[in-house]
Every structure is written in C-alpha cells, then in structure tokens.
Structure 1
Amino acid sequence: MDFRIDPDTWFVFSTLFISGLGLFIAGFIVIPYLLRKKQIERLQFKFVRNNHRYEEVVKNISHRKEIFLENNNRKLKSDLSSSLRKIAKSNNNELDVITFFSDFEKVYPDFTTSLQKINPNITANELKLCALLRLNLSAKEVSKILNITPESVNKARYRLRKKIGLKPKEDLDIFLINI
C-alpha cells in the first residue's frame, strides 16, 4: 500500500491546522480577557453607583444634623431671651443669672475663648458685660441685669474698649457680634 500525500494538500492541511490551533489558543486568551474586562467595568460601575449613594446618604445625614442643630440653636436662643426677660423682671436672682450665662455659653460656645485669645487679662465681670453686649442690650437693660447703674455700664464699656484696643471709630457692639 502506497500511501502518498500530495504536497499541496499537506500544505493546505497544515495551514488550516495551525490557523485553527492559533484561533483556539487565541480564543482561550481573548475570551477570558474580554469577560474579565466586562466584569471589571461592571464592578467599577457598581463602585461608582455605591459611592454616589454613600455621598447622598452622608449629605442627607449632614443636612439632617444641620437642621437639628439649627432647631436646637433656635430653641436655645428663645430660651436665652426668655431667661433674659425673666432676669430683667425679677429681683436679680443670682441663680437665674448663672443659668442665663450657662445658656449663653451653649448658644455661643466659642465666644469667651475667642475673647480670652484677644485679651487674656479679661475679667469675669467683663466677660459678663461682653455677653450682654453681644445680645445688643442697652446700657439700661445691662444695668438692671448686673445690678449697677447705667453710668457704670458706660464706664465699663469704655474700659473694655481700651483693654481690647479698639480704635475710636470702631464700635464695640459690632466687634463683639463679629467674634
């Protein structure tokens, strides 16, 4: 039996076999690569979507906290003004004054520390005067609360201006409000 293969047939057969083998190997490399690429794209999309949701939740929580703090601040300010009216009407009960200043510290927590940074030698009475002036009270109202005369309030304001180092054209009330 004489088995002879034609060289042209052999060449076509080997070319087809090699190209089929090449396609088969390329399929094993390319298909998993494309599948991984699609999977990575899906994961990135999910990550971006989850990150966006997380940012929305954080923004929502911070907005709720902000609203809560604003409501709480409004409530404290109303309590502050009611306790101030109560002190002005009463016979200057010392406990009411202490309660008022503790409420003032809740509404304006950094007020005394920033004043003490400006002038570390500021006294407790001057801090009380500054707190009352911060609320835009007149000298007469401050004198009722501190149980002193309106002239004493004016003198204390003058001394406070000198101690803080304000220029004559600068307003003490505006300075205290901006702290």
Structure 2
Amino acid sequence: MVKKVLVIEDDEAVLIMVSEILQNENFDVITASGGIRGVELAIENCPEVILCDIRLPDIDGYEVLKKLSRDNRYLRGPFIFMTALRERENYRKAMELGADDYLPKPFSPKELVEAIFSRLLKYSRIESNLDQKVKEIENQLNTKTQNIHNEVDENGSFISPASSKNEILVKQLKEKEMELVKETFNAIETNNTLLDLRNEINRELKNPALKKQSKQILTDLKRKTKKHTMLWNNQTIFQLKFNQAYPNFISKLNTRFSGLTQYEIVFISAHLMGLNTMQLSDLFCISDDSVRKSRYRVKKKLGLKKEDDFFSFIHALNIGKRNHE
C-alpha cells in the first residue's frame, strides 16, 4: 500500500527536491509551503509520515506539531523535523513536543529515505506487538463471555428469583451472571492497565537523564497506546459486554422510556447485571453516595415511587413483563 507523506516546507527548492526523492521511493507526496496549510492538509489526508521545517512564514513547525497532537487521528505515524537549526535547545524542544526525528539540513537523499523508513519500521513493530497483546486479551475475554452466554442460553432466559420455584436453577443462573460481571470488570481492568501504562510512560519521559533512544521508544509507545481502540472509557467497555449478554434489553428500554440519557441506560443496565453500589462506583468513577443519588433520580424518571423496588422493576422489564403501573 502506497503511504502518504506530507512535506511542509517554505523553501521551494527544498520542497521540490524532497518531493522528487520521495516520489522515486513510491510515496504519495502532499506538499504545503506554510504551517497553517500544512495542518489543514494533515487533517484532510491523515498522512502516514509528516516532514516539517521549523521556520515557516506563518506558524512554526513546533506549533504545527502542537496542533496535530491534540487529536491523534491526524498523527498516524512519524513526525520528522527538517531544519537548518542545529542548536541543542531546538533539538530538545522538538523531542519534548513528541517529534520522532530531527533531520539537520542539508541532508542527502539517502539520509532522508533512511530516516523515514527506520521510523516507519519502528512504528510498525510497536503497533504489531501492541495489537497482538491486545487481541490475545480480547480473544480470551470473548471466548469466556461466549461460553457463559451459551450456558445461560442452554438453561433458558433469566428467571426472576421471586417467581422461580427451582432455587437450584436460579442459583446456577445467578452464578453465571456474576461470572459475566467478572469478565466485564476484567475488560475494564485491562483498559485501566493500558491507561496506567501510558501514565507511567508520561512520568518516565520527564526524566532528564533518559537517553535519546529510550525516550523515542517510549514516545512511540505512548502514541500507539493512546490510539488503540482498546482505550475506551469503562462505560463503553461495559455496554459492549452487556449487549452480548442482553441483546434486546436496551431496545425495550428505549421503546418504553425514550427520554433516557446514555448514562442512565448504562446505569440501569448495570443494575440488571447485579452490580452492587461499590461496583457501580468503580464503573462510573463516582462516590457511593453519588450512586445512590443517581438511583433515586433514575427511579423518578422511570415513574417509580420511593417504595418501589428498582431491581425488581428492571428484571421484570427484561423478561417482558410489567410489574409496575
């Protein structure tokens, strides 16, 4: 697949030279003579590589990198500065902002091509290793969740403890439901682990004694962990897992109560899965008291009275019965 390279350079001679070198290497080259236009083209095209001069007529290369760093969709790969500035402070500033390389002018075609290919190779290796690890975790969780779901299906749909005469079957189904809860929180824990990893990388990058190569590897890894789809918020992870176990519940809920917010839908769904106040607190990152207040507000929105049993109402809705008017 042909990779796009965006070149941001105000010197026309350098711009033409770099473009020709890259086109000869079968890159799809996009060019801009100013920083503002460069940012626009990066957003429009999402290039795999960005080569950028530091001194530009409108905004400098540092500002270009800052603007693009605000949304990782526009930084899919290496960001390499091309510059005649050789002072160490310029190099240090570029690295602190997250640049992948610093190519001093003048440079040879070989140096340019090697810089791009070496950075692309590093990105590819990091992304491959990270994707493999995350896929392993996802596959394990999906397999366990599907096994639990299949066992529940074999024993029939959810049976309310209040109406069931078979206490053994109810207990078995409840155990399976709790296993699903555990798998959900395993997914959340995995997500939090990746977030912790990124925070640890941020702390390590502030170490002034960190060597250049180590710092670059950590910067690459940070960008990849931030981009990865596994880094959803906990509520998103919960809802994906919930929909696997109860595929029709949310549609029933929306049909009957069309004014519910996304937060309220997830909140109600979590109660159906049997999450207690402490677990709800972890899921929504709020205090136990805030969980109780949310439960009170949701009950009012569902038209329930203070004395009505919130859990019984939700379970009755799940099996398609109305036990509240």
- Following superposition, the deviation at residue 151 of structure 1 comes to 1.1
Q: Is the 8 A contact 1:142 1:153 kept in 2?
A: yes
Q: What SS class does the counterpart of residue 259 from structure 2 fall into?
A: coil
- Following superposition, the deviation at residue 82 of structure 1 comes to 1.4
> In the alignment, which residue of structure 2 is the partner of 1:114?
252
2:279 maps to which of 141, 145, 167: 141
CA distance in 1, matches of 2:281, 2:190: 13
Distance 1:146 1:88, change over 3 A: farther
> In the alignment, which residue of structure 2 is the partner of 1:176?
314
CA distance in 2, matches of 1:149, 1:116: 27
Q: Is the 8 A contact 2:188 2:237 kept in 1?
A: no
- Following superposition, the deviation at residue 158 of structure 1 comes to 0.5
- Following superposition, the deviation at residue 84 of structure 1 comes to 2.1
> In the alignment, which residue of structure 1 is the partner of 2:298?
160
**Higher RCO (C-alpha under 8 Å, 6+ residues apart):** 1
Q: 1:4-43 to 2 correspondence within 5 Å?
A: none
Q: Is the 8 A contact 1:126 1:160 kept in 2?
A: yes
Distance 1:173 1:85, change over 3 A: farther
Distance 1:87 1:120, change over 3 A: same
Q: TM-score with structure 1 length normalisation?
A: 0.52
- Following superposition, the deviation at residue 85 of structure 1 comes to 4.3
> In the alignment, which residue of structure 2 is the partner of 1:41?
none
The structure whose residues are more often strand, as a share, is 2
Q: What SS class does the counterpart of residue 232 from structure 2 fall into?
A: helix
Equivalent residue pairs, number: 110
Q: TM-score with structure 2 length normalisation?
A: 0.30
What are the ranges of 5 or more consecutive residues in structure 1 without an aligned counterpart? Answer: 1-68
2:185 maps to which of 54, 59, 84: 84
Q: What SS class does the counterpart of residue 178 from structure 1 fall into?
A: helix
Q: Is the 8 A contact 1:73 1:107 kept in 2?
A: no
CA distance in 2, matches of 1:117, 1:95: 27
Deviations 1:40-72 (A, max 9, x none): xxxxxxxxxxxxxxxxxxxxxxxxxxxxx7437
CA distance in 2, matches of 1:175, 1:130: 10
> In the alignment, which residue of structure 1 is the partner of 2:151?
71
Deviations 1:21-52 (A, max 9, x none): xxxxxxxxxxxxxxxxxxxxxxxxxxxxxxxx
1:95 and 2:232 aligned: yes
Amino acid at match of 2:286: I
Q: Is the 8 A contact 2:277 2:291 kept in 1?
A: yes
CA distance in 2, matches of 1:143, 1:80: 14
Q: What SS class does the counterpart of residue 168 from structure 1 fall into?
A: coil
Q: What SS class does the counterpart of residue 269 from structure 2 fall into?
A: helix
CA distance in 1, matches of 2:313, 2:152: 25
Distance 1:146 1:163, change over 3 A: same
Instruction: Provide the aligned C-alpha RMSD in A.
Output: 2.9
Between structure 1 and structure 2, the one with the greater Rg is: 1
Work out the percentage of aligned pairs sharing the same amino acid.
24
